[in-house]
Amino acid sequence: MRAVRLNELGGPEKLHVENVPDPQPGSGEISVRIKRAAFNRRDVFITQGLYPGIELPKTLGSDGCGEVAALGEGVTGPAPGTPVVINPQLGWSEDEAFASHGSILGMPRDGTFAELVTVPAINVHPKPAALDDDECAAIGLAGLTAYRAVFTRGQIRKEDVVLIPGVGSGVQTFVLLYAKHVGARTIVTSGSDAKLERAKRLGADVTINYKSSPEWHKEVRKASDGRGPSLVVDSTGGETLTRCLEVAALGARVVIYGGTSGDAKVRPFSIFWKHLDVLGTSMGSARDFRSMLELFESGLKPALDRVYPMDEVAAAAERMLQGEQFGKIVLAID
Ligand SMILES: NC(=O)c1ccc[n+]([C@@H]2O[C@H](COP(=O)([O-])OP(=O)(O)OC[C@H]3O[C@@H](n4cnc5c(N)ncnc54)[C@H](OP(=O)(O)O)[C@@H]3O)[C@@H](O)[C@H]2O)c1
């Protein structure tokens, strides 16, 4: 089969399409013939060596949809040919407890940037009929992370004012989608006016450019009637997170799932004085994934950036590295 391989570190240009032996499903596993895969920041971090536990050579990719190719021993379905989507969170059983949280498809296990991938049968779900292949590939890791951040951890309510910094991020576009779905008011930031325009079309109520408005947190406060947002979902870290904590409303929930721009200086006063709930989250449980799929059966559509052919995988990764994308970058495998 053809697969995107990373043989050495050095950034997106090190990704190459190669012929490798077809993987065979082991006991309890399913082999999926991938039609579309999608990029996450993690894939780019891995090419740069900025991820724990890297083992090379490897096929990257956490997100994928396609159809069942073959069933391993002891697996009774779904039947070969069934359209499916893959849950990239491996080893997180039905137990909701974080302690059972396992690994992510695409490192250390070979991932979805390939014509075939083998995964545990419990990670294979019927494809939501309302989504096409590109949309379906886009929802895996980012949609799941956002789902748990917004619903399971963030406990979003219609009455919330939600702050979404860096809305151009793959995950943050899902946060916006979900927040609008429940009818909450949303304030989004981005370093790009073009991305803010796209966010407006997805329903963002207030848009702020953090580059042209260096005091963006003051605008956030103004846009939330002086009270500040009641729910913040952040993956930027650094100075952005410091300001998020400062601007959050009394009793707000601040959910954190990443730290793209590094460590944050935290002022304890802004947390204890306002009784903030600061909540960490990462990926999601099997239950989160199933609940997310139900949501996408109801007509929600993920934001797509571009679809690249498999042979242009390095250009796709470079686009993400440069932060040019809005929404998900999809890789056409078939
Ligand atoms: N824990 C988990 O389960 C989990 C899951 C997925 C991702 N993550 C982490 O979450 C982060 C985002 O992942 P992703 O795949 O969504 O990445 P992505 O699509 O590459 O998005 C990164 C975004 O960060 C924003 N950004 C950069 N500097 C900023 C600043 N100073 N202020 C506000 N926003 C800023 C940019 O938004 P604009 O372009 O709009 O300015 C950029 O598009 C990464 O660190 C990733 O490792 C964690």
Decide whether any atom of ligand 1 lies within 6 Å of the 5 Cβ: no
Looking at the fold, whether 149 and 238 belong to one and the same domain comes out as yes
Looking at the fold, whether 116 and 63 belong to one and the same domain comes out as yes
Looking at the fold, whether 201 and 111 belong to one and the same domain comes out as no
pLDDT on residue 288: 95
| Structural domain includes residue 297 | no
Looking at the fold, whether 134 and 164 belong to one and the same domain comes out as no
pLDDT on residue 131: 97
Q: How far apart are CA 163 and CA 248, in angstroms?
A: 9
Spacing, Cα 72 to ligand 1 middle (Å)? 37
Nearest atom within ligand 1 for CA of residue 284? 3
Looking at the fold, whether 134 and 154 belong to one and the same domain comes out as no
What is the tally of structural domains in the chain?
Answer: 2
Decide whether any atom of ligand 1 lies within 6 Å of the 195 Cβ: yes
Phi/psi at 130 (5° precision): -75, -10
pLDDT on residue 101: 66
Spacing, Cα 171 to ligand 1 middle (Å)? 7
Decide whether any atom of ligand 1 lies within 6 Å of the 236 Cβ: yes
What DSSP string describes 3-14?
EEEE-S-SSGGG
Decide whether any atom of ligand 1 lies within 6 Å of the 285 Cβ: no
Decide whether any atom of ligand 1 lies within 6 Å of the 207 Cβ: no
pLDDT on residue 94: 75
Query: Could you read off the pLDDT tens digit of each residue along the chain, which spans 334 residues?
Result: 999 999 999 999 999 999 999 999 999 999 999 999 999 999 999 999 999 999 999 999 999 999 999 999 999 989 999 999 999 999 987 777 776 668 999 999 999 999 999 999 999 999 999 999 999 999 999 999 999 999 999 999 999 999 999 999 899 999 999 999 999 999 999 999 999 999 999 999 999 999 999 999 999 999 999 999 999 999 999 999 999 999 999 999 999 999 999 999 999 999 999 999 999 999 999 999 999 999 999 889 999 999 999 999 999 999 999 999 999 999 999 9
| CB contact at 8 A, 185 and 204 | no
Nearest-CA residue for atom 37 of ligand 1: 166
Spacing, Cα 233 to ligand 1 middle (Å)? 11
Nearest-CA residue for atom 45 of ligand 1: 260
Q: How far apart are CA 126 and CA 30, in angstroms?
A: 13
Decide whether any atom of ligand 1 lies within 6 Å of the 327 Cβ: no
Q: How far apart are CA 27 and CA 271, in angstroms?
A: 49
Smallest CA-to-CA distance from 49 within 10, 16, 14 is with 10
| Structural domain includes residue 285 | no
pLDDT on residue 99: 60
Q: How far apart are CA 153 and CA 322, in angstroms?
A: 30
The Cα angle at residue 44 between residues 178 and 254, in degrees rounded to 5: 35
Looking at the fold, whether 152 and 274 belong to one and the same domain comes out as yes
Domain encompassing residue 94: 2-139+302-332
Looking at the fold, whether 114 and 19 belong to one and the same domain comes out as yes
| Structural domain includes residue 149 | yes
Looking at the fold, whether 262 and 317 belong to one and the same domain comes out as no
pLDDT on residue 154: 98
pLDDT on residue 95: 77
Spacing, Cα 124 to ligand 1 middle (Å)? 27
| Structural domain includes residue 287 | no
Looking at the fold, whether 117 and 184 belong to one and the same domain comes out as no
Nearest atom within ligand 1 for CA of residue 259? 45
Spacing, Cα 309 to ligand 1 middle (Å)? 24
Decide whether any atom of ligand 1 lies within 6 Å of the 299 Cβ: no
Alpha-carbon distance values, 65 to 81, 134, 202 (Å): 12, 8, 24
Decide whether any atom of ligand 1 lies within 6 Å of the 192 Cβ: yes
The CATH number of the domain holding residue 321 is 3.90.180.10
pLDDT on residue 107: 97
Spacing, Cα 85 to ligand 1 middle (Å)? 23
pLDDT on residue 117: 98
Spacing, Cα 197 to ligand 1 middle (Å)? 18
| Structural domain includes residue 289 | no
